[in-house]
Chain A
């Protein structure tokens, strides 16, 4: 059983479209992080959210942490080919300190 469920697993869209990636769990997380990973490279941190209901924006990316701190979403506006990559959510349970539990990832492809 996957502690963090990401959806969709694969997403292929045209340049200029909007998209949302979801990260859901039945567990409560003290914090949740979103990463982007390119082939052959390590995950690069995009954002950390710690407060229920928190919304953070990073240019065309909007991250939201659910009120109950069980879920999160990543919304990309006007996607560009440079946004192509594997998007990973990872959560830290209150009982596990800084140890992160990762979702399986969403592979995003933005076609020009």
Chain B
């Protein structure tokens, strides 16, 4: 998973604050995915983006969560008015192509703790 850069690695927020998680994909990759891993659970798909476009957001909660991948700069996962249940590890992954069978590489993750 070398090359997919996420920051911050650890983030503590009080209930009601906003959390912004950043992801820079591997060089040459234009497809970005965000996954969430709750304690003691597997990874759950949230959103899939390509430069300036949201391709699939079927895993995103309907409220408070948003994601973007601008033409320039990293992808950002934004969580507004955080609640304790948002505490989780958020992983970004990237791929070169969209097609099935394509290899996806993960970053080290951003651990969000809501207090």
Contact = CB atoms under 8 A, between A and B. Distances in A.
Tier of interface size on chain B = 20 to 34
A98 B98 contact: yes
A97 B104 contact: no
Contacts of B22: none
A99 B42 CA distance: 15
B82 to A, nearest CB: 21
Interface stretch (A12-20, A36-44, A56-64, A77-85): A36-44
Given A50-B101, A98-B33, A99-B33, A42 B42 contact: no
B26 to A, nearest CB: 12
A92 B97 CA distance: 13
Interface of B: 1, 4, 6, 31, 33, 35, 41-45, 48, 55-56, 91, 95, 97-109, 111
Given A42-B91, A98-B99, A103 B42 contact: yes
B101 A31 contact: yes
B99 A102 contact: no
Contact of B106 (A42, A92, A94): A42
Given A44-B106, A98-B97, 18 more contacts: A30-B100, A33-B103, A33-B104, A40-B109, A42-B4, A42-B91, A42-B106, A92-B101, A92-B102, A96-B56, A97-B55, A98-B98, A98-B99, A98-B102, A99-B56, A101-B45, A102-B35, A102-B42
Contacts of A90: 43
A103 B44 CA distance: 9
A18 B44 CA distance: 30
Contacts of A101: 45
A88 B41 CA distance: 11
Contacts of B33: 98-100
A93 B100 CA distance: 8
B98 A43 contact: no
